[in-house]
Amino acid sequence: MLIVMRTAATEADTARVVDYIKTLNLTPNPIPGAQRTAIGITGNTGALDPALFARFSDVCEAIPISRPWKLVSREVKPDDTVVSLPGPDNQPAQIGGGNFGVIAGPCAVESPEQLMTAAREVRKAGARFFRGGAYKPRTSPYSFQGMKDEGLELLAKARAETGMPVVTEIIDTRDVDLFAQHVDVVQVGARNMQNFALLEAVGSIKRPVLLKRGMAATLQEFLMAAEYICKNGNYQVILCERGIRTFETMTRNTLDLGSLPLLRRLTHLPIIVDPSHGTGDWRSVPALARAAVAMGADGLMIEVHPNPAQALSDGPQSLTPANFAKLMTSVKAIADVVGAKL
């Protein structure tokens, strides 16, 4: 159920309703909005009676929510969630609500030279967020597993020099405090989209979470995974469409751009697109990046490596800095047409 407070309701009025919800052994989730405060109620197994809230004159409406996802839904929060962090040039780096954010960088942190070159190049081309995996979830235990803690330190150096907030993947619940301390946006990868312990853990930190769609996840499962994070109080969640596995074998994944307008209607969370993992081939990345911005995505995640042929992971889908700069030029042109702020 969603409780919508009157616009004139004070914090004390909301607190009274919150306390009442607790007496029902349910969980109140206050969600301040641009126009009004709403309180999402979770924890109920059956339907709640809206009449329970008739006693509060500051409650404008009690709306039953029939969907299995609640806190991520547009019904609960009609206005777009905006993720905003301190960014380069003393300007915020933002994703959502009309702000188009480009996250770029190598698949994995490999060395100080590789990382710093990548950071300088993507910044020069206009990226406002920097990515690089320090802990890599690899299919083979014999593949490069990432530089781990040392990788996090290098990312911090890249942030210090370029001003870009850093995005990197967490693969273990035991690292949550470490990430909360050193990382700006915590990525939960496709392979962990339904690692519920990890979702709960990142839900209880105060860092934005970039949640990638699982490779066989339906949109409902994707939204429910985001719900796990919001349920623990963290509403700073960015959804990332990164392709799903289908019968097709000539592309690494099938990039489901059709999910975009549907997710946009269902959720207030920002939605970005990763055409690098979505296609697996650098030659296809620019076209799908342009399609994503034209379709109203809130941002892109693009893999860029100073020397893709030498990359320790995902070289075939990584752009050179020069090709990334070209991509940015065409993406900016489309952003202007669709009114996205880049």
- Interface contacts to ligand PEP, rule CB under 6 A: 107, 133, 189-191, 212, 242, 277
Tell me 282's DSSP state.
Answer: G
Size of site (CB under 5 A) for Mn ion: 2
Which residues are CB-neighbours of 266 under 8 A, at least 6 positions away? Answer: 67, 69, 73, 74, 219, 223
Q: Which does 256 bind (CB under 5 to 8 A by kind): Mn ion, ligand PEP, none?
A: none
Which residues are CB-neighbours of 114 under 8 A, at least 6 positions away? Answer: 106, 305, 306, 307
Sheet holding 27-32, edge to edge: 27-32, 37-42, 2-5, 59-63
Q: Which does 190 bind (CB under 5 to 8 A by kind): ligand PEP, Mn ion, none?
A: ligand PEP
Closer residue to ligand PEP in complex, CB, 41/304: 304
Type of residue at 114? Q
Q: Are the CB atoms for 249 and 218 separated by under 8 Å?
A: no
Least distance from C-beta 313 to ligand PEP, angstroms?
7
Closer residue to ligand PEP in complex, CB, 1/158: 158
Closer residue to ligand PEP in complex, CB, 59/211: 211
Least distance from C-beta 255 to ligand PEP, angstroms?
11
Closer residue to Mn ion in complex, CB, 130/228: 130
Closer residue to Mn ion in complex, CB, 227/303: 303
Tracing tokens 């990332």 back to the chain, one arrives at: 240
Q: What is d(CA 329, CA 301) in angstroms, rounded to the nearest whole number?
A: 16
Q: Which of 271, 210, 216, 205 minimizes the C-alpha distance to 243?
A: 216
Which of the residues 64 through 123 are near Mn ion (CB under 5 A)? 107
Q: Are the CB atoms for 286 and 323 separated by under 8 Å?
A: yes
End-to-end CA distance of the chain: 36
Q: Which does 290 bind (CB under 5 to 8 A by kind): ligand PEP, Mn ion, none?
A: none
Least distance from C-beta 137 to ligand PEP, angstroms?
6
Site string for Mn ion, 297-336 (x = CB under 5 A): -----------------x----------------------
Closer residue to Mn ion in complex, CB, 227/241: 241
| Residues of the shown chain interacting with Mn ion in the complex, contacts defined by CB under 5 A | 107, 314
